[in-house]
Structure 1
Amino acid sequence: MQRKSKLCRKLNVYVFMNDMSGFAERVVTLLKFSCRSQIHVKQIQAQIVLHNLQSNTTIAYNFITASQSHNLLISVLPLFTLLIPKPHVFIFNSLIRAFSHSHIPNTPLSLYSRMHKNSIFPNNFTFPFLFKSLSDTRSFVQSQCVYTHVVKLGHVNDVYVNNSLLDVYASCGYVALCRQLFDEMPHRDVVSWTVLIMCYRFGGMYDDALLVFEQMQYAGVVPNRVTMVNALAACASFGAIEMGIWIHDMVRRNGWELDVILGTALVDMYVKCGRVEDGLRVFSYMKEKNVFTWNAVIKGLALAKSGEEAVLWFNRMEVYGVRADEVTLVVILSACSHSGLVDKGRLIFSMLVDGKYGFCPNVKHYACMVDLLARAGQLKEAFEIMRCMPFEPTKAMWGSLLIGSKSQGNFEFSELVARKLVEMEPDNTAYYVQLSNLYAEAGRWSDVERVRGMMKERELNKDLGCSSVEVEHRRSASEVSAP
C-alpha cells in the first residue's frame, strides 16, 4: 500500500499542476523503470484509464511491454480493444508483436481480424509478427488467407514480410512453396537464405540445404550464426565433414566466439561425422556448455568409440553439475545396451525410476532397458519390465525380445513374441514370415502350413525382399538413441 501511494502521488503532482504532457511522460518513465510487479502494472493501468490516456501510442507501447514482462497480456486486452473506439494501427501492431512472443495461440490472428472489423488498415510492420504466430502454430491455411491481404495492400515486395512467410512455409513443411517464394523475391537478405536452408534441413534434404549454403556464398551474402548452426546441422546429418571443416575455418577466420549454440553445433557435427577427437577439442575451447553440448559428446562417444567412455563422460557431466535431461538418459542407456554394460544400465535406470534426475522414465527409456536386457539374454527380466511399465509395449520392444530370444535359441519366447507381433500388425507380411521360419527351424511343419494358410486367407503375399523384424528394430533403435 505504501508503494501504491508513492506511485499515485508522483502522478497526481502533474495532474494537480494541470500538466498532462508531463503526466504522460511520467507514466512512460514509471513503466520503463519503476514497474517491478503485477501490482504496479495494475496501478498504472488504473491511472491510464482514469485520465483516458490509452489512445496515447507511446504509453500504449510501453504499457503493453510492461504487461508482457509481468504475464498480464490477456488481462490488458480490453483496455485497447474495448475502451478505444478505433485504436491506432501502432497499438494493434504492438499487441500482435507481444502476443506473437507469448505463445498464446490464435490471439494475434483474432487481433488482426478485429483490425479489419474496425477498418484499421495493417501495414508492413503488422504482417511479420502475425506470420510468426502462424508459423509457431503451423497454421498454413490461415497464412495463405493473410497473404492475399499482403498482395492486395501492396506489401508483396517487402523483404521482412516475405521472410516471415518463408518461415511459415518452412515450419509447415512446404519445401516447394518455400523455394518458389524465395526465387520470386526481388530482395533477399541473410534471413531469407537462412530460412531456406532451415526448410531443406527440416525436410531431410540435407544435400539441398548445403547447396543453398554454397549458393549463398556465391551471391555475396555473409552468413550469420543462425545460418552456420543450420548448415552445420545439415553437415552432421549428411556426413559432409569437408563442408563442416570449411565452416569451422570460416568461424575462426571471422573471429567468432564459440558461444554455446554455435559450439554445440560444431561438436555435434564432428562427432556425428566420426571425428570425435575434433569434437572434444571444440568442447574444451567452449567457455559455456549446456546439457545439449554434453549430450552431443556422450552420444558421439557411444557411437564412435565405446559405451565405457560414454559412461565416463556421463559421470563427468554430473561432477560438473550439469543436470541430465531425458535425452541424456536415452543416450546413456542406449550406450550401455550396445556395449553390454548391463549392471551399469540397471543402476542408471533404477536411479531414474527413483527420481534422481527429476523426471519419470518415458517409453524410450523403457525401450532402451528392454533392448539392453534382451541383448544380454535376460529375457524374463526384459519381459517383466514390459509387463509392469505404465505404457503399452511398442513394436521396437517386441523386436528386441525377438532378436534376443532367437540369439539365445529360446524357441518358446521367440514364438510368443512373433505371435504377438502378428497380432499387433495382422497385415504385416514380415511378421508371418518370422513366425513361419521359427516353426520351420523347429520342424513343426503343420504350424508352417497353418501360418501360410493365415496369410492366404488374409490375401498377404510373402515378400522375400522384406524379410525381417530386425530391419524394423534397427530403425526403431536408431530413433530411440537420437537426441
Structure 2
Amino acid sequence: MADPAGLPPRLRPSTAPPPPAVTRALHAINTCTSAAALAPLRVHILQEPALLRSTAVVSAFFLSCGRLRSLDPALVLFASLPRPHVFVFNSLLRSLPPAPACSPLPLFRHFFGLGVRPNRYTFPLMLTSLSSLCELSVVHSQVAKSGFARDLHVRNALLARYAACDPGLGHAEQLFDEMPSPDVVAWTTMITAYRNHGRSFHALATFRRMFAASVAPNRVTMVSTLGACAAHGAADTGIWIHQYVQKQGWELDVVLGTALVDMYGKCGHVVEGVRVFSEMTERNVCTWNSIIGAFALEQDGEMALRWFYRMKADGVRPDAVTLICVLYACTHAGLVDIGRKIFNLIVQGEYGFQPGIKHFGCMVDLLSRSGHLDDAFRVVEAMPSQPNAVIWGLLLQGCKARGDTVLSEDVTMRLVELEPENASHYVTLANLYAETGRWLEAEKFVFPLLGLQQQFYSITLAGRFYSTVHDIDGLG
C-alpha cells in the first residue's frame, strides 16, 4: 500500500537466499588463509557461470587476494570478465596495496574500454594507489571528463593525494584555492600537508583562515594544528586550542591528549603537559614518549628517568623513540653511568629491538661531552652500519672541547673521506696542523679549498690571518 504522503512503498531486503553454489564459494573465499589456494578458487569461479556473474563472489575473491597479498589471481580473473560491474572494479582497487609495484592506470583503461563507467567511489580508491604527479594529472583529467570534478568526496581525495605526492605543494594549493567552499576535510588536509612538509607557519595561518571562513574544526584538525604549534613553538595557539576543546566538551582521547602533551612539552610548558597527562583516561607509548621527551628537552634528566621507570612499572613497553628521549636526557644531565647501562640493555635486546643510528648518536654525544673520548670512538667503530657525518661530528665536538688534537685529526680525516666536497673539513684540518706548527701539512689541506669553491677564503691559523684568493704564499 502506498504511503499517505505519496511516497512509494518502503524498500525491504530481499528474502531470497543466494544459490547454494554462491554460498559455498563465498564461504571458501572468506575462510581462505593461503595464497596457494587462490588459484584453484579462481579456476572454480571461471568454470561456474553463476559464480562468474555474481558480483558478491568476484568482489570477495578480489578482497581475499588483497588480504593475502597475492594479486595475480585477481588480475587474471578481472581480465576474464566480459563486462565487470563498477562495484567489482572498485573491489579490485580496494585489494591493491597503497603503493603497488605496477600502476592501476592500465586496469582503469581496460575497465573504461569495456564501456563501464566509474562512480564516485572509483576515483578515491584509485588515487590511494598513485604516487607520481604525472599519474595524478592523468586521473585528475579523467575526473573532469567523467563529471566528478565537483563531487566533494572525489575532490577531497584528489587534494589529499596531491598533498602527499607534491613536494612543493603547488598543485595542492592550486586545487584548494579553486574550491568554492572547502569543507573541514579539505582545510585539515592542507594544515596537515603544511605541517608534514615542515611549513608550520603556513599550517597555523591556514588554521586561522579556516576559522575566518566559519568552518568548524574536528579532532583531526586540532591534532594536526597542535603538531604545527609544537614545531613552531606557538604556545599561545596551542593553549587556545586546549581551551576550545574544553569549551566544546570533547573527550580527551589518546590521540588528542597526546598531541596536547607533546605541544606543551615542546613549547616549554611541562607542568601543563603533566596536567593533561594526568587527566587522560587512556594513554599509549606515544603519550609516555611525549612526557619523557618534554623533561629531556628541559634538560631535567632525573625527572625524565623517573617517568621512564614509571612507564615500565605501568606495563607500557618502551619503543625506539622512548630510548632516544631517555639517552638524550642522560646526555644533557651528564648521567653517564645510567646512559651506559640503558644503552647496553638496548644492545642486549632487552627492549625488543637493536639500537639505531640515533641511539648510537646519543651515546657518542653522551660519552664525548663527558670526556670519555676513547669509549665514544669505540662505540662509533662498533656500529653495524657506516657512521655518517653527524656521528663523527659529535665525536669531533668532544675532541675539540677536550683539546685532543690527535683524535681530532683522525676524526676529521674520516669526515674528509665521507664528505670530500665539504670545505669546512679542510679548514678544520688546516687549523689543527697550524696549531701544532705543522705548516706544510696545513698548506696541503688549504689548497683543496681552491678547487672546491672559487672564492675568497679567510683562514685563521694559530692566531695569524692568511688570505687565500688564487694562491697561498708564505704560510708559516
Is TM (by shorter chain) over 0.5? yes
1:113 to 100, 109, 116: 109
Q: State the shift of 1:303 in Å.
A: 0.6
1:192 to 182, 186, 195: 186
1:355-401 Cα offsets, whole Å, 9 max, x none, are 11111112221122111111111111111122222111211121122
- Residue type at the aligned position of 1:359: F
TM-score, length basis structure 1: 0.83
In 1: Cα distance, 2:74 partner to 2:28 partner: 22
User: Do the aligned residues in 2 keep the contact of 1:32 with 1:62 (CA within 8 Å)?
Assistant: no
1:302-348 Cα offsets, whole Å, 9 max, x none, are 01141221122111111111111112222211221222111111111
Q: State the shift of 1:253 in Å.
A: 1.4
Q: State the shift of 1:354 in Å.
A: 0.7
Structure 1: gaps of 5 or more residues = 1-18, 468-483
**Pairwise CA RMSD:** 3.1
Q: State the shift of 1:201 in Å.
A: 1.2
In 2: Cα distance, 1:196 partner to 1:73 partner: 35
1:251-270 Cα offsets, whole Å, 9 max, x none, are 11111111111111111111
- Residue type at the aligned position of 1:354: Q
Q: Is the deviation greater in 376-385 or in 440-449?
A: 440-449
User: Do the aligned residues in 1 keep the contact of 2:66 with 2:95 (CA within 8 Å)?
Assistant: no
Q: State the shift of 1:104 in Å.
A: 4.5
In 2: Cα distance, 1:117 partner to 1:304 partner: 62
For residue 91 of structure 1, what is the aligned residue in structure 2?
88
1:128 to 124, 127, 139: 124
In 2: Cα distance, 1:160 partner to 1:281 partner: 39
Q: For the structure 1 residues 247 and 387, does the alpha-carbon distance in structure 2 shift closer, same or farther, using more than 3 Å as the test? A: same
Q: For the structure 1 residues 70 and 442, does the alpha-carbon distance in structure 2 shift closer, same or farther, using more than 3 Å as the test? A: closer
- Residue type at the aligned position of 2:263: M
Q: For the structure 1 residues 341 and 118, does the alpha-carbon distance in structure 2 shift closer, same or farther, using more than 3 Å as the test? A: same
In 1: Cα distance, 2:97 partner to 2:284 partner: 27
In 1: Cα distance, 2:21 partner to 2:208 partner: 53
For residue 240 of structure 2, what is the aligned residue in structure 1?
246
1:55 to 53, 74, 80: 53
Q: For the structure 1 residues 234 and 25, does the alpha-carbon distance in structure 2 shift closer, same or farther, using more than 3 Å as the test? A: farther
For residue 11 of structure 1, what is the aligned residue in structure 2?
none
In 2: Cα distance, 1:96 partner to 1:115 partner: 11
Q: State the shift of 1:413 in Å.
A: 1.0
Q: State the shift of 1:465 in Å.
A: 11
In 2: Cα distance, 1:274 partner to 1:221 partner: 30
Q: State the shift of 1:58 in Å.
A: 4.5
User: Do the aligned residues in 2 keep the contact of 1:28 with 1:58 (CA within 8 Å)?
Assistant: no
In 2: Cα distance, 1:255 partner to 1:417 partner: 57
- Residue type at the aligned position of 1:369: M
User: Do the aligned residues in 1 keep the contact of 2:45 with 2:52 (CA within 8 Å)?
Assistant: no
1:229 maps onto 2:223 in alignment: yes
Q: State the shift of 1:442 in Å.
A: 2.6
In 2: Cα distance, 1:407 partner to 1:98 partner: 57
Q: For the structure 1 residues 186 and 415, does the alpha-carbon distance in structure 2 shift closer, same or farther, using more than 3 Å as the test? A: same
SS in 2 for 1:331: helix
1:303 maps onto 2:300 in alignment: no
Q: State the shift of 1:247 in Å.
A: 0.9
* Runs of 4+ residues deviating >6 angstroms: 41-45
In 2: Cα distance, 1:32 partner to 1:225 partner: 39
SS in 1 for 2:53: coil
1:145 to 129, 138, 156: 138
- Residue type at the aligned position of 1:444: R
Q: State the shift of 1:108 in Å.
A: 4.1
Q: Is the deviation greater in 113-122 or in 302-311?
A: 113-122
Q: State the shift of 1:107 in Å.
A: 6.3
- Structure with bigger helix share is 1
- Residue type at the aligned position of 1:141: C
In 1: Cα distance, 2:15 partner to 2:245 partner: 54
1:54-106 Cα offsets, whole Å, 9 max, x none, are 333345445655x27853763651575144211111210122134356x6454
Q: State the shift of 1:182 in Å.
A: 0.6
In 2: Cα distance, 1:254 partner to 1:29 partner: 51
- Residue type at the aligned position of 2:81: I
In 2: Cα distance, 1:33 partner to 1:185 partner: 46
- Residue type at the aligned position of 1:54: L
TM-score, length basis structure 2: 0.84
Q: For the structure 1 residues 73 and 412, does the alpha-carbon distance in structure 2 shift closer, same or farther, using more than 3 Å as the test? A: closer
In 1: Cα distance, 2:216 partner to 2:454 partner: 56
Q: For the structure 1 residues 328 and 93, does the alpha-carbon distance in structure 2 shift closer, same or farther, using more than 3 Å as the test? A: same
Aligned residue-pair number: 443
Q: For the structure 1 residues 49 and 72, does the alpha-carbon distance in structure 2 shift closer, same or farther, using more than 3 Å as the test? A: farther
For residue 469 of structure 2, what is the aligned residue in structure 1?
none
For residue 412 of structure 1, what is the aligned residue in structure 2?
406
- Higher relative contact order structure (alpha carbons within 8 Å, sequence separation ≥ 6): 1
Q: State the shift of 1:28 in Å.
A: 6.7
* Equivalences for residues 25-104 of structure 1 within 5 A: 35=30, 38=33, 50=48, 52-61=50-59, 64=62, 67=64, 71=68, 74=71, 77=74, 80-99=77-96, 104=100
User: Do the aligned residues in 1 keep the contact of 2:430 with 2:445 (CA within 8 Å)?
Assistant: yes
Q: State the shift of 1:418 in Å.
A: 2.0
In 1: Cα distance, 2:202 partner to 2:114 partner: 45
1:204-263 Cα offsets, whole Å, 9 max, x none, are 221111111111112221211111111110111011111111111111111111111111
User: Do the aligned residues in 2 keep the contact of 1:430 with 1:466 (CA within 8 Å)?
Assistant: no
In 2: Cα distance, 1:354 partner to 1:219 partner: 55
1:121-176 Cα offsets, whole Å, 9 max, x none, are 22222101111222xxx322111111111122222111211111111111122412
For residue 464 of structure 2, what is the aligned residue in structure 1?
none
Q: State the shift of 1:271 in Å.
A: 0.3
2:435 to 405, 416, 441: 441
